[in-house]
Structure 1
Amino acid sequence: MKKLLRYMAPYRRQVAMAPLFMIIEVALELMQPRFMARIIDDGVGKGDLRLIWVTCLLMLGTSALAVIGGAGCTYFSSLAGQNFGAELRQALFRKVMSLSFAETDRFSTASLITRLTQDVSQVQHTLVMCLRMLVRQPMMCLGGVVMALLIDIRLAGILLLLMPPIFFMSLLTFRYSRPMFSLIQEKLDRLNAALQENLAGIRVVKAYGRSDYEKRRFEQANRGLSEQHLRTARFMSGMMPLTMLIMNMGILAVLYVGGWTVRSGELSVGEVMAMVNYITQILFSFMFATFVLTDFSRAKASADRITAVMDTEPSVVDSEGARPIAAAATQERRAAAVEFREVSFRYPGAAGAPVLQGVNFSLRPGERVAVLGSTGSGKSTLVHLLPRFYDVTAGAVLIDGCDVRGYRLSDLRDKMSMVLQESVLFSGTVAENIRWGKITASQEEIEEAARVAQAHDFVMSFKDGYETLVGQRGVTLSGGQKQRLAIARALLKKPSLLILDDSMSAIDVETERRLQASLKDACANMSILQIAQRISSVSNADRIVVLQDGVIVGQGRHAELLRSCRVYQEIVESQTGEDLSRRGERGGLRHD
């Protein structure tokens, strides 16, 4: 919790004002039992109606001032709490955005969402409660004890006997409720994960008729959360009746002893009633302190989860002496040279053989190199090393002769555009999604990029053209349309290196042919590294790299690989149905 309190620093004034207003409220409330005693003893007892009216007016006046004090405390504590929550949430989001893939893989998406929303809200709520209750309750308790001692030491002694067991129960509640609330947050993570997966994959769920299965899975997660809430509630419910029992026993003891003191003439009826009020205030203060400790226990669990993210350091950062890429934004970018030099990679914490082993190949400026291989051969992992989503385990990846770890991350990623396997679009218009690649782009630049990506015609077929609203994640578009818009977004940036990670898989063959031709004309100042599954997508590449189980088993042009690489032949055979091995036997085809 201490680490998070630094986000309160800009709001010290509001934090200081809230307790000041609460002091006013508590001081005025502590006067009320004395006024009541005066009305009973001097007003009712002596029949002084004027005294009753004057004292009642004083009670109303002090109550009104107490309301102002309480409202001021609520205003300033809420102001501090809301600003604190906004600052903390923003800092946590910035931290999440700074983490490398290795760290975000460790925290699930659902868990990060819970931490950014509910955990921050819980800490914020507890802070507001603390600014009010942690000032009010100790002051009310201390002031009540002082006022009770001023009335009668014997009756105050009863109160002092009741305080230790209530204090012990409060500590017991705090100690055992904290792990329970931690479990609640973990169960909530699982519920959010099930909900997120179902909403994101609702079409797949319905297409496969798995709605009943997903309902049961969600019900299981929901029941787990409910059961944990009930276990916590059962524990907490036992504390409240015990506290009330102790408090009522104390009031009965005060009334019993107070009755004897009134009978003997040592105390008046009004003083005994005032004593009962003070004891009630004190014991209620302890009871509310238990509530605050419970909230604090829950907030501590949430704060620990937030701190776990805030304390996580990204594994991929700018190295010492990282140099910027010297290129003016107004200049035409030059195509990048890329080299993979003895690259090996294993995902953090993964066992078994590396995903990539001893990978060696280069991409000359302006060249288009395709990477082909079966599923799981390491193709996507290979291109993830270029923008440093992950760092190599061994070897080096070089761009323009410099290890990518020697560049500043922002400059390195600005140098390239990447179209991933899953074409992610954002809520907004078509133009806004394409402009995401270059926020200063004009409408003419947007349309030019869309034409190259073969997206202009279908965009103009929409009623609102480039101002057509795209649903969340592009749900209103087909897979091929989303891929073409993602390619247009990447082209708009005019990068030195364009990475296409199987980004034409949903595009029909004829459209892909036109797209490949337009890319060749428009990307003269770009180097292109393309991941693909279809032979038709890569057959015209300057060079093809064939991967199998993370190892390069062939390099060359299409015709060369047909003669020399058996893995490439098998891929061609699986897509064309032609038996190349027999043709190779007749024509002297060599096998690896």
Structure 2
Amino acid sequence: MVKKLMESIREQKKNSILAMVTISGEVAFEVIIPLLMANLIDYGIDMGDMGYIVKMGIVLLLSALGQLFCGAISGKFAAIASSGFARNLRHDMFYKVQNYSFSNIDKFSTASIVTRLTTDVTNLQNTYQMIIRMAVRSPLMAIFSLVAAFGIDAKLSLIFLAIIPVLVLGLYFIMTRTHPIFERVFRTYDKLNSVVQENLHGIRVVKSFVREDHENKKFTAISENIYKDFKKAEQQLAWNAPLMQLCMYAAVLLLSWFGARTIVACGGDAATGLSTGELLSLLSYATQILMSLMGLSMIFVMLTMSRTSGERVVELLNETPDITTPENAVKSVPDGSIDFEHVQFSYRHGTEGKPVLSDINLHIPAGATVGVIGGTGSSKSSFVQLISRLYDVDLGAVKVGGIDVRKYDLDTLRGDVAMVLQKNVLFSGTIKDNLRWGDENATDEEIHHACQLAQADDFIQTFPKGYDTYIEQGGTNVSGGQKQRLCIARALLKKPKILILDDSTSAVDTRTDALIRGAFAKEIPNTTKIIIAQRIASVQGADMILVLDDGKIVSCGTHDELMQTSPIYREVYESQTKGDPDNATAS
């Protein structure tokens, strides 16, 4: 885990090293100061030597300024290094997620990925900053202070060695009890983010059904679980401070007791025993040693909290995308023909591998218009998502242009297969910004033409700013039908060899639907068009209509053929027309 996280330090190694070097300078000055104080007391104040007092006072002042300077510079370098580390970590995680397939994202969930990119990275940033400062300062302080203390009086310094094991055992006990709690806390954070995300995304539904109280209770329940777990963890960690205080005061009391007895026994003569200045130095070193140990305990606490975050971040970074571009990938799609050869497919997460598509065999010639109908859960969307390799088949093969989609360069394949998904998404920005997702170099004329084909130009022209109208995040300031038409126009700008509409005209009226289909037939006759629809009218004129049921193609043919051979198709047709054929073709 540590090795993987360290890969994100990169250019911040220099600042990290400088932070550690300057903190070492701060420690050196801080350790020297008690020795200077001892000399000031023993050889200046006790001897009444004013010149020596002034000299040592200046040296002490310079040492204090040196300590202050090194501490400030170290803090600056540490802040830059930790911020840069967090930036690199977020960058690496986000880029990794961009390469995920749908199945990888399904595994983690959107809310969990957001938590890892925010809360977990912040925890690691704070921990890294503490490590490059305190993890250097505290051990050096403890070692240098112990050496200096043993140089003054080895016997009294053994007190420190007796207390350190007590502290270490106590810290180990605290860490082992709190880590499982923090693991549970961050899993609960994922649930909390999921609830918030779902609530804000569906706030109109929440308000229209007056479900605010229900959502408040759901949020409160999860938030209460986080509170209880954090409280329990903090109660365990709270033992850290009393343990440190106990060790510190025990050391000071023992030093004071034995040191005072030594001074009295030798009459304060440093040559034969312990002087007053040396005792004060020992007490200062006792404070420094125990404060450094307290710093180490704080590091252990932070490591305990961030260990879970580190594991979650590394889990995301180590995830291998299910779908990647192969070596020597095909860089060109010959045509828009599509072949399914004994295809079987299942979602690996949440369905226990149950096949949602079974033994699909189909040939679609280039330029054909194919309609797909079927009931809810018949796997219509799963069927078309295999074409652009949003998912990979379990068995069999899907071919585009006569070549297995797994042999294509992903960008090439998806560039020539345009999908308007069932859940249309627009991003914050102008209408032009959104449309240029299809072709970032599209001219204004090309944009207007695509919108005319998608029957979007008319309503865009009614906006005061036309194509420069700002779209709110998610397209909340346009209607469902307008959003669908903008998404169709965006797909057309790709000039694809295959165009897939996944129930993408459900929110437009039948007349507009007919105009869109008419424009397709006239303007893009050589593009293979697959139209998933609930309305028979949307697919009635297709060259081929597929009827899906329970993940299988149960019927295939033209409208007239299916009316004769497919009970499912005929039943849907009659339920929509109610015996009046004109209703099915109304425009």
TM class, shorter-length: over 0.9
Greater mean deviation of Cα atoms: 345-354 or 499-508: 345-354
Q: Does 1:312 pair with 2:313?
A: no
Q: Does 1:568 pair with 2:575?
A: no
Is contact 1:538–1:544 with CA below 8 Å preserved after alignment?
yes
Give how far 1:313 is off: 1.2
Q: Does 1:435 pair with 2:442?
A: no
Q: Which residue number in structure 2 is paired with residue 370 of structure 1?
A: 371
Q: Which residue number in structure 2 is paired with residue 8 of structure 1?
A: 9
Describe the SS at the equivalent of 2:9. Answer: helix
For residues 254 and 41 of structure 1, the distance between their equivalents in structure 2, rounded to whole angstroms, comes to 19
Greater mean deviation of Cα atoms: 9-18 or 337-346: 9-18
Describe the SS at the equivalent of 1:323. Answer: coil
Q: Does 1:282 pair with 2:289?
A: yes
Is contact 1:430–1:466 with CA below 8 Å preserved after alignment?
yes
Describe the SS at the equivalent of 1:2. Answer: helix
1:35-434 aligned within 5 A: 35-264=36-265, 265=267, 266-325=273-332, 336-348=336-348, 350-351=351-352, 354-434=355-435
For residues 258 and 192 of structure 1, the distance between their equivalents in structure 2, rounded to whole angstroms, comes to 58
For residues 301 and 149 of structure 1, the distance between their equivalents in structure 2, rounded to whole angstroms, comes to 40
For residues 31 and 565 of structure 2, the distance between their equivalents in structure 1, rounded to whole angstroms, comes to 94
Is contact 2:333–2:412 with CA below 8 Å preserved after alignment?
no
| Unaligned residue ranges in structure 2 (runs of 5+) | 268-272, 582-587
For residues 68 and 81 of structure 1, the distance between their equivalents in structure 2, rounded to whole angstroms, comes to 20
Is contact 2:333–2:416 with CA below 8 Å preserved after alignment?
no
Give the alignment's Cα RMSD to 1 decimal.
Answer: 1.7
Is contact 1:384–1:390 with CA below 8 Å preserved after alignment?
yes
Give how far 1:341 is off: 2.1
Describe the SS at the equivalent of 1:3. Answer: helix
Give how far 1:509 is off: 1.6
Q: How many residues align?
A: 573
Supply the AA of the counterpart residue of 1:222.
S
- For residues 431-468 of structure 1, the C-alpha deviation after alignment (integer angstroms, 9 at most, x for no partner) is 00001111111111111111111111111211111111
User: Equivalent pairs: percent with the same residue?
Assistant: 39
Q: Which residue number in structure 1 is paired with residue 465 of structure 2?
A: 464
Is contact 1:170–1:289 with CA below 8 Å preserved after alignment?
no
Decide whether aligned partners of structure 1 residues 475 and 326 sit closer, same or farther in structure 2, where only a CA change above 3 A counts. Answer: closer
For residues 126 and 319 of structure 2, the distance between their equivalents in structure 1, rounded to whole angstroms, comes to 25
Is contact 2:333–2:413 with CA below 8 Å preserved after alignment?
no
Supply the AA of the counterpart residue of 2:341.
R
Give how far 1:382 is off: 0.1
Q: Which residue number in structure 1 is paired with residue 552 of structure 2?
A: 551
Is contact 1:425–1:472 with CA below 8 Å preserved after alignment?
yes
Give how far 1:423 is off: 0.8
Supply the AA of the counterpart residue of 1:505.
S
Greater mean deviation of Cα atoms: 470-479 or 183-192: 183-192
For residues 344 and 150 of structure 1, the distance between their equivalents in structure 2, rounded to whole angstroms, comes to 77
Give how far 1:227 is off: 0.8
For residues 139 and 542 of structure 2, the distance between their equivalents in structure 1, rounded to whole angstroms, comes to 77
Q: TM-score, normalised by structure 1?
A: 0.94
For residues 293 and 5 of structure 1, the distance between their equivalents in structure 2, rounded to whole angstroms, comes to 18
Give how far 1:177 is off: 2.5
Q: Which residue number in structure 1 is paired with residue 585 of structure 2?
A: none
For residues 333 and 483 of structure 2, the distance between their equivalents in structure 1, rounded to whole angstroms, comes to 34
For residues 561 and 179 of structure 1, the distance between their equivalents in structure 2, rounded to whole angstroms, comes to 60
Describe the SS at the equivalent of 2:112. Answer: helix
Give how far 1:213 is off: 0.6
Is contact 1:42–1:48 with CA below 8 Å preserved after alignment?
yes
For residues 340 and 321 of structure 1, the distance between their equivalents in structure 2, rounded to whole angstroms, comes to 23
Supply the AA of the counterpart residue of 1:172.
F
Give how far 1:100 is off: 1.6
- For residues 399-458 of structure 1, the C-alpha deviation after alignment (integer angstroms, 9 at most, x for no partner) is 111111121222111111100011100011110000111111111111111111111111
Decide whether aligned partners of structure 1 residues 352 and 33 sit closer, same or farther in structure 2, where only a CA change above 3 A counts. Answer: closer
Decide whether aligned partners of structure 1 residues 500 and 92 sit closer, same or farther in structure 2, where only a CA change above 3 A counts. Answer: same
For residues 352 and 158 of structure 2, the distance between their equivalents in structure 1, rounded to whole angstroms, comes to 67
Is contact 2:416–2:494 with CA below 8 Å preserved after alignment?
no
Describe the SS at the equivalent of 2:149. Answer: helix
Q: Which residue number in structure 1 is paired with residue 492 of structure 2?
A: 491
Give how far 1:42 is off: 3.2
For residues 10 and 470 of structure 2, the distance between their equivalents in structure 1, rounded to whole angstroms, comes to 42
Describe the SS at the equivalent of 1:552. Answer: strand
Greater mean deviation of Cα atoms: 199-208 or 260-269: 260-269
Is contact 2:366–2:528 with CA below 8 Å preserved after alignment?
yes
Give how far 1:579 is off: 9.1
Q: TM-score, normalised by structure 2?
A: 0.94
For residues 496 and 485 of structure 2, the distance between their equivalents in structure 1, rounded to whole angstroms, comes to 17
1:466-485 aligned within 5 A: 466-485=467-486
Is contact 1:173–1:290 with CA below 8 Å preserved after alignment?
no
Give how far 1:326 is off: 6.1
For residues 433 and 355 of structure 2, the distance between their equivalents in structure 1, rounded to whole angstroms, comes to 40
For residues 297 and 471 of structure 2, the distance between their equivalents in structure 1, rounded to whole angstroms, comes to 50
Give how far 1:136 is off: 0.4
Is contact 2:160–2:286 with CA below 8 Å preserved after alignment?
yes
- For residues 338-389 of structure 1, the C-alpha deviation after alignment (integer angstroms, 9 at most, x for no partner) is 1222222222153485211222222211111010111111100000101111
- For residues 183-237 of structure 1, the C-alpha deviation after alignment (integer angstroms, 9 at most, x for no partner) is 2211111111111111111111111111111110000111111111101000001
Supply the AA of the counterpart residue of 1:22.
I
Supply the AA of the counterpart residue of 1:295.
M
Give how far 1:251 is off: 0.5
Give how far 1:490 is off: 0.2
Is contact 1:38–1:270 with CA below 8 Å preserved after alignment?
yes
Supply the AA of the counterpart residue of 2:314.
T
Is contact 2:101–2:322 with CA below 8 Å preserved after alignment?
yes
Q: Which residue number in structure 2 is paired with residue 24 of structure 1?
A: 25
For residues 419 and 144 of structure 2, the distance between their equivalents in structure 1, rounded to whole angstroms, comes to 67
For residues 209 and 360 of structure 2, the distance between their equivalents in structure 1, rounded to whole angstroms, comes to 39
- For residues 288-336 of structure 1, the C-alpha deviation after alignment (integer angstroms, 9 at most, x for no partner) is 1011011112222111111112222122223454322167xxxxxxx51
Supply the AA of the counterpart residue of 1:489.
R
For residues 57 and 16 of structure 2, the distance between their equivalents in structure 1, rounded to whole angstroms, comes to 34
| Unaligned residue ranges in structure 1 (runs of 5+) | 328-334, 581-592
Give how far 1:47 is off: 3.3
Supply the AA of the counterpart residue of 2:387.
L
Describe the SS at the equivalent of 1:555. Answer: strand
Give how far 1:91 is off: 1.2
Describe the SS at the equivalent of 1:206. Answer: helix
Is contact 2:432–2:468 with CA below 8 Å preserved after alignment?
yes
1:495-574 aligned within 5 A: 495-574=496-575
Supply the AA of the counterpart residue of 2:325.
D
For residues 166 and 116 of structure 2, the distance between their equivalents in structure 1, rounded to whole angstroms, comes to 36
Give how far 1:48 is off: 3.5
Give how far 1:36 is off: 2.2
- For residues 509-568 of structure 1, the C-alpha deviation after alignment (integer angstroms, 9 at most, x for no partner) is 222122221222221231101111111111121211111111212112212212221100
Give how far 1:275 is off: 0.7
